[in-house]
Structure 1
Amino acid sequence: MSTPTLWTIPIQAKGKPIRAALTLAGIPFELPTGYEHFKSNLEPAFKGKFPHGKIPAWEEGSLLLFEADAILRYVAKKAPNGGLTGSSPVEEAQIDQWIHFVDTEIDANNDLVRALAGGKIPYSKPAHTWALDREIRGLTTLNLHLASRTFLVGERLTIADLFVAALIQKATTATLDSELRAKFPHTIRHLETVANQPAIKAIYDLNPSAYIEKGITFVPPKKEAKPKAEKKKEEPKPKAPKKKAEEEDDDEPPADVPPEEKKRNPLDDLPKSNFNLEDWKRAYSNLDTRGAEGSLEWFYKNYDPAGFSLWRVDFKYNEELTQTFMSSNQIGGFFNRLEASRKYLFGSVGVLGETNNSVISGSIITRGPEIEPTISVAPDWESYSYTKIDLEKPEDKAFFEASLAWDLEIDGKKWADGKNFK
C-alpha cells in the first residue's frame, strides 16, 4: 500500500496536531507536493475525493477522511504504544470533551473576531464584543482546569493537548494579546510545554516573539479621494426616461425616490407614562441611593407601573464563574450589547461572592410590561433568567432596593462589584 497522504499546509492550525500525532506514533505519511490552498482543494481532482473541499484531509488507499478531530483520533489509535487517545473509556471521553470545547468555545469565536476585523463579514462592534467575551469565558474555564495540571487528561501527553495547543497558538496571533495572556498563565504554560516537546517542536514552530501585543481590531478602509473633474459648459441634455422599478440600480436608490422612513420602535407607541426614565437615571446618579431624600425615595414617588416593569436578572451559569473581576467584565460586556435599548432600560447588576464561589444578579427597569423586547437586542440575553419584581411583596422590594444600593446579599454571598446601565 502506498504511503498515506495528509492534505494540509504547514501553517494550518488543525493540521499541526495530526502531524504531531503521526510523528509521535512513528507512522509514515507524506504531505502533498505542489499544493496551493484555495486553488488545489477546489479543483475537480481534489473534490472528487473530498466533495466539501476542506483540509486537513486524510487519504489512505480507499479510505478518505475529513474533519481534523476525526483524522486525529484515527491516526493516534494506530500508534503502536497507544496512550495518545487515553488509557480508559473515561479518559477517551475527557479527551473528546476538551477537543470539542476548545474548538467551539475558543477557536470558533477567535475565527469570528478575525472575520469581523478582517472585513470578511460586515463589521459589527456588538458582535465583536460578544465573540471576544465568549472566547474569554472559554479561556477562563480552560485556564482554571490547567491550574493544577501539566496535561489536560491524565499524566501523559494526549491528542487533546496536541489539538488545544495548536488552537491556542493560533489565538496568540489574533485575540490572545498580552493583557489576556497575563490573565491566563496556565494556558500559555501548557501551550509552550506541548509545543516544545523535542519530537514535535519543528511542527509547532512556536515563537513567543510572534505573540500579538494588542488584539486585532477593525480598521475602516480609507475612502479614495476622487479627482476633481474640470467643469465644461455643455448643452443641456434631455432628461432620460425614468426606468421601470425592476430595472433600477440595486446599489443605491434613484435620486427622486425619498429615503426610506426610519422604522419606529413599537415601544414608542406604548401609552405615555408619567415616569421619565432619563430623570430617574439622573436622580440615581446624583443622589444617595437610600435615605429620606435618596434616589429610591425619588423612584417610589415617581414610578408608574403602567408604563414600565421591574425585573430580577440572574446569570444561568454561575458554576462557570471564576475571578470576580472577570465576572464584572462579563456584566459590562452584556450591558454594552444592550446599547440599542439604552433609552428604554436601566440596570444595576453585580457579582456577589468571591473567586470560584460567586453569582451574578441584579435588577432591571424596562419600558413596557415585558422584558424581551428591550433585552433581546443583546445576543447573549438568554444566558440570563428574568423574574418580574412585585414591589407589593416585601422580599421583592428588599431585593430591588439592595441591588440598586449595591448591598445585595444572596445565600451569604455579599456584593463584590457591580455595573450600572444608564
Structure 2
Amino acid sequence: MSSIGTLWTIPQQYSGKRIRAVAAYAGLSVDLPEKYTHFEDNKKPEFLAKFPHGKIPALETKDGFKLFETPAIARYVAALAPNSTLLGSSLEDSALVDQWVSFSDSEIGSHTYLVVQLIRGVLTPYAKPLHTAFVERQVRSLKTLEQHLATRTFLVGERITLADITLASVLQLAFSFTIDAPLRAQLPNVLRHYNTIVNQPQIKDIFGPTEFCEKQAQYTPPAKEKKEAKPAAAPAPKAEKKPKKEEEDEDDDLVPKEEPKAKNPLDFLPKSTFNLEDWKRAYSNKETRGAGGALEWLYQNYDAEGFSAWRVDFKYNEELTQTFMSSNQIGGFFNRLEASRKYLFGSMGVLGETNNSIISGALIARGQDIKPVVEVAPDWESYEYKKLDLSNPEDKAFFEGALAWDLEIGGKKWVDGKNFK
C-alpha cells in the first residue's frame, strides 16, 4: 500500500479517521508525523509556513501539494483511486455523494460538535434552549437518514462511497455524546449502516471500538470553589455606630449578592387536596378497574382545580415501524420528563401492529397548563396535547382505557405501554 504523503492529525480525531479510512479503502495510505503535539506544533513557524491557519487535519503529499479542511482532503484522496468508485460511478452519483457528505457534516457532525462545546462551556455560557435546539435539529436529520436507508444498503448506489465513510466518521462521535440508547432504538437502519461501514476489513482498525452512550451527555455546572480560611486577625476597633437613616442610604448594590434559584412556576400554584404520590401508589397496588380499584380511588380523590387530565398523541405516526421500537420511544420521552416527576403521572402505549401503529395515552398533570410540565423534555413538541373533561363520557372512556391499557383507537388495539410514576 503506497503512501501519498503526511497527514497531520491526532489519532483519536474523528475527521482524521475519516481521511485515513478513505485512503485505506482506496488502497492507499498516509503517514502520520513521528511526533505531533496539538496546540504546540501547529503554532510553530515551520507548520504555519505550510498551513497558515494552523488547522488540522492537514495533508502534504510527497510531491509538495498542501491541503487542509477535512472534506477537501477526503475528496482529493478518494479521487486518487478512480477505480474505487468512492466518488460515484456517474455524474449524478457523484453529485449525490457530495450531497450526503455535506448533509453528514452540517446536520449531524456540526450539531454534535456544538453540543459538546456547549456542555463543556467552550462555546458560550451554557444555555438549555440552545442545547435543546441543537439536539432537535440532529434528531430530525437522523430521521431523514433512517428513512433514506430503510430501502438501501448504502447512501448512494450499491457500493461504499465517500458519503458512507463520512457519515460513519461523524456518527462515531455522535454515538458517544448525543445518540443515546432510546434514540438508537428508533434508528435501526442508521445503526445497521454504521456497523456495516466501520467493520469493513480495510478500515476496522482505523475506526476502532465505539463507545455508545446510554444517556445523552448533559451539562454539569462547575462546583463552587471553597474559600481558603484566612488566619485570624487582631480584633479591629469598634466603629462608631451610624445613625439609622445614614445606614439606609448606603449603596448595597456595590456588594455582589447571590441570586436565589428560580423555582418552577408549578410550585406557586395553590395547594391541592389531591396527592399525586398517593395516586401513584394506588395505581401501582390496585387493579385499575372495578370496585375498590385505582380508578375508583382516583374519582373519589381527584382535585380538578389543582390537576388536569390530558390526551397525548404522537404527531408523526407515519414514521413508526416496529412496535417495540415505538415502545422504546415512549420510554425515552418519559426519561426526558424526569425533572417533572413530582408534577406528573403518565400512561402511554403503542396501538396497532408493525408499520401500522400509533402512540397515544394520557397524562395527569399539576395545574391547568401542560406546557410547564412537559417542556423539560426536548422532544415534547413531537406530541399533541388535548385537555380531557372527565365529566364527558367520551373523554372519560379514553382516559380509563389509557390507564387500564385496553385503549382502542380506530380498530388499533393496545399492544405495549409504559407508565411515568
Identity %: 57
- Compute the TM-score of the two structures, normalised by the length of structure 1: 0.67
State the one-letter code of the partner of 1:38: F
Q: Distance in 2 between matches of 1:40 and 1:236?
A: 55
Residue 164 of structure 2 aligns with which residue? 161
Task: Indicate whether 1:407 and 2:370 are aligned.
Answer: no
Residue 307 of structure 2 aligns with which residue? 308
* Counterparts in 2 of 1:167 and 1:30: CA distance versus 1, 3 Å: same
Count residues with an aligned counterpart.
399
Contact map agreement 1:133 1:330 (CA 8 A) in 2: no
Residue 296 of structure 1 aligns with which residue? 295
State the one-letter code of the partner of 1:156: R
Q: Extract unaligned runs of 5+ from structure 2.
A: 241-246
| More deviation, 361-370/23-32 | 23-32
Determine helix, strand or coil for the equivalent of 2:279.
Answer: helix
Residue 197 of structure 2 aligns with which residue? 191
Residue 56 of structure 2 aligns with which residue? 55
State the one-letter code of the partner of 1:296: L
* Counterparts in 2 of 1:285 and 1:27: CA distance versus 1, 3 Å: closer
| More deviation, 31-40/320-329 | 31-40
Contact map agreement 2:309 2:363 (CA 8 A) in 1: yes
State the one-letter code of the partner of 2:13: Q
Matches within 5 A, 1:212-231: 212=211
* Counterparts in 2 of 1:416 and 1:20: CA distance versus 1, 3 Å: same
State the one-letter code of the partner of 2:57: P
Q: Extract unaligned runs of 5+ from structure 1.
A: 254-258
State the one-letter code of the partner of 2:12: I
Residue 283 of structure 2 aligns with which residue? 284
Contact map agreement 2:19 2:77 (CA 8 A) in 1: yes
Determine helix, strand or coil for the equivalent of 1:370.
Answer: coil
- How far apart are residue 79 of structure 1 and its match? 5.3
Determine helix, strand or coil for the equivalent of 2:289.
Answer: coil
* Counterparts in 2 of 1:89 and 1:240: CA distance versus 1, 3 Å: farther
CA deviation vs aligned residue, 1:130-157 (integer Å, no higher than 9, x gap)? 9999999988987897788654432212
- How far apart are residue 25 of structure 1 and its match? 5.9
State the one-letter code of the partner of 2:368: P
Task: Indicate whether 1:369 and 2:368 are aligned.
Answer: yes
* Counterparts in 2 of 1:350 and 1:75: CA distance versus 1, 3 Å: same
* Counterparts in 2 of 1:47 and 1:368: CA distance versus 1, 3 Å: farther
- How far apart are residue 378 of structure 1 and its match? 1.7
Determine helix, strand or coil for the equivalent of 1:205.
Answer: helix
- Compute the TM-score of the two structures, normalised by the length of structure 2: 0.67
Residue 395 of structure 2 aligns with which residue? 396
State the one-letter code of the partner of 1:414: K
Q: Distance in 2 between matches of 1:153 and 1:291?
A: 57
- For residue 85 of structure 2, the aligned residue among 83, 86, 90 is 83
State the one-letter code of the partner of 2:88: G
Provide the alpha-carbon RMSD of the alignment.
5.6
- How far apart are residue 246 of structure 1 and its match? 7.0
Contact map agreement 1:310 1:388 (CA 8 A) in 2: yes
* Counterparts in 2 of 1:331 and 1:175: CA distance versus 1, 3 Å: same
* Counterparts in 2 of 1:235 and 1:278: CA distance versus 1, 3 Å: same
- How far apart are residue 349 of structure 1 and its match? 1.3
Q: Distance in 2 between matches of 1:303 and 1:47?
A: 74
- How far apart are residue 338 of structure 1 and its match? 2.0
Contact map agreement 1:146 1:186 (CA 8 A) in 2: no
Residue 344 of structure 1 aligns with which residue? 343
- How far apart are residue 33 of structure 1 and its match? 8.3
Contact map agreement 2:306 2:367 (CA 8 A) in 1: yes
State the one-letter code of the partner of 1:387: K
Contact map agreement 2:21 2:206 (CA 8 A) in 1: no
